Amino acid sequence: LKAMSETQPSADIRALLNDVIEQVPIDFGGGSGLAKAETFASLIADHGLASYLEIGVYRGRSLFPVAALFRHRGRGIAVGIDPWSFVAAEQHDVELFPPEAAAGVAAWNRAMDWDALYAEVTMRATALGVEDHVRLIRATSADASSLIGAETVDVLHIDGNHDREAVLFDVRTYLPKVRPGGFVLFDDAWWPSVQEARAL
C-alpha cells in the first residue's frame, strides 16, 4: 500500500486524521490506526481521488478519517456499506483465522448490540461534521451492490466479513465498480481466508 503513494501527509493533515481516529473507539471488532489513515490520505492526495467505498464500516475508524479528509479538501464522498447485524457478522472459517482472532469472534458477535452501534456511528458522522462527505448504507454488500454504479469508485476498501466466500464475493461483485486506474485495498490481507481473494 505504501508503494502506491509518493508523499507523506502534512503535519496539519496528520493532526486532522489523528483527531478523528481518537474520537472513534477501538475494540476487538476492529480499529484502524493512524498509519492506515495516513496511507489513505497520501493515496487520495497523490492521485486526486474523490470516491471511496468501504465494505465493513463497524465503528468507522477507517471511514471517518477519509470523510474528514474529503471535507478538508472540499470534495469527495466516502461511502460505507455495513449491515450492522449479528447474522452478517457471524464468521464460519475460523480455522483460517489467526488464533487470537478465532478465539473471540463468536463471543464478540453475541455481545454486540448492532442496532445501538449503527445509531452510534450515525451520530458520530454528525458529531465529526462529515455528514456532507459520508454516506452510510445499512445493508449487506450483496443487497447494496445495485446502489453502486460501474466504474464509479476510485478506492475500494474491502473489510467486511472475513470468511473466504464472503471476501471472494465482495471482490467479484465490487471490482467492476472500480474505475480503470482505481485502487482495491484489503484489510487483514495476510489472513489465509483472504489470500485467495487477493489473487483475483
pLDDT for res 70 = 98
Whether the pTM exceeds 0.85: the reply is yes
pLDDT for res 94 = 84
pLDDT for res 3 = 44
pLDDT for res 192 = 80
How would you list the strands of the sheet with 134-137, edge to edge? 134-137, 77-81, 51-55, 153-158, 178-186
Residue 171 cell numbers, joined: 471482490
Task: Name residue 32's amino acid.
Answer: S
For the chain, 200 residues long, give each residue's pLDDT as a single digit of tens.
Answer: 344 555 788 999 999 999 999 999 988 777 788 999 999 999 999 999 999 999 999 999 999 999 999 999 999 999 999 999 999 989 888 888 888 777 888 888 889 999 999 999 999 999 999 999 999 999 999 999 999 999 999 999 999 988 889 999 999 999 999 999 999 999 887 778 888 777 76
Axis-axis angle for helices 63-73, 34-47 (nearest 10): 40
pLDDT for res 28 = 79
pLDDT for res 31 = 76
Distance CA 75, CA 82 (A): 23
Distance CA 161, CA 155 (A): 19
pLDDT for res 190 = 77
Residue 4 cell numbers, joined: 502506491
